[in-house]
Amino acid sequence: MEPDFLDRYQRQLSLRAVGMGGQRALRAARVTIVGLGGLGCPVVQYLAAAGVGNFLLVDADRVSLSNLQRQILYTQNDIGRFKVEVAKEWIQKQNPQIIVEVYTEMLSAENATAYLALADIVVDCTDNFAARYLINDACASANKPWVYGSIAKFEGQVAVFNAVTTTPEVENHNITTPEFSQHSALRSLNYRDVFSKPPGEGEIQNCAEAGVLGALAGIIGSFQAMEVLKWILGLHGLLANQMLTYNAIDHSIVKFQLVNNSDRK
């Protein structure tokens, strides 16, 4: 721990849910963030500030002028630089003790398994389905939890997939057989249990096509950061086996319950 950690983390050390043990868990945690755009910026900023000790940042994009409206980690001086390089500098200014590895490649079938294997938990901050399904499938085969977030105009979706949970589908299915309840730890459902295959090319608009206000990316990215913190700290209420939707117009939140694909008729 940094010599100044008592002072630095005082506001969260005083939470019973964090304390010294939680702070150590945050320091030891390795988080891979795929995509350092509108969602990735708040995710990395809140997690670094909270004391997550190790980051792997994956993004092949460079900062452009049209990013600045919502990707508030970057400034006009950063235009043309790799986002992961700028994010690494920001983290190390925030706290030089944090270890950051950066990858300036697009996530691909070739590198996904290797990049994600290094993490305790993965955060999907991408803007496309190809990357999202790569993350899902690589995490499913490596037994890694991942935090999903995505936005569409004034709405967002957030979920935690493939996390070990002690209260799994039992609640959703009203299954109370003794055999089933003996499983104390089961993996939560994954993205393919919601959407079994990607939509057609061009079917779903991304932010460039549909438009987005930066504050929504900040809200949904903050939801994702909170789920990562809850997972590391072992807190209850993780968004496993459910998908939260948020609407920025009326601030309505709905948590949809997920059902296992193989159980669906």
* Interacting residues with other proteins (CB under 8 A): 35, 37-40, 124-129, 149-153, 155-157, 172, 194-195, 198-200, 203-207, 210, 212, 217, 243, 245, 247, 254-259, 264-265
158-175 in b/e form (b: 16+ CB < 10 A) is bbbbbbebeebbbebeee
CB of 37 to other proteins, least distance (A): 6
CB of 228 to other proteins, least distance (A): 15
Residue 246, CA distances (Å) to 140, 164, 252 in order: 26, 24, 6
CB of 212 to other proteins, least distance (A): 6
Which residue lies nearer to other proteins by CB, 180 or 195?
195
Sign of CA dihedral 58, 59, 62, 64: negative
CB of 136 to other proteins, least distance (A): 12
CB of 55 to other proteins, least distance (A): 17
Lookup: tokens for 96: 């030089």
Sign of CA dihedral 75, 131, 151, 199: positive
Which residue lies nearer to other proteins by CB, 80 or 199?
199
CB of 173 to other proteins, least distance (A): 10
Which residue lies nearer to other proteins by CB, 5 or 133?
133
CB of 13 to other proteins, least distance (A): 32
Which residue lies nearer to other proteins by CB, 13 or 102?
102
Which residue lies nearer to other proteins by CB, 137 or 155?
155
Radius of gyration of the chain (CA): 18
Which residue lies nearer to other proteins by CB, 110 or 203?
203
Which residue lies nearer to other proteins by CB, 178 or 199?
199
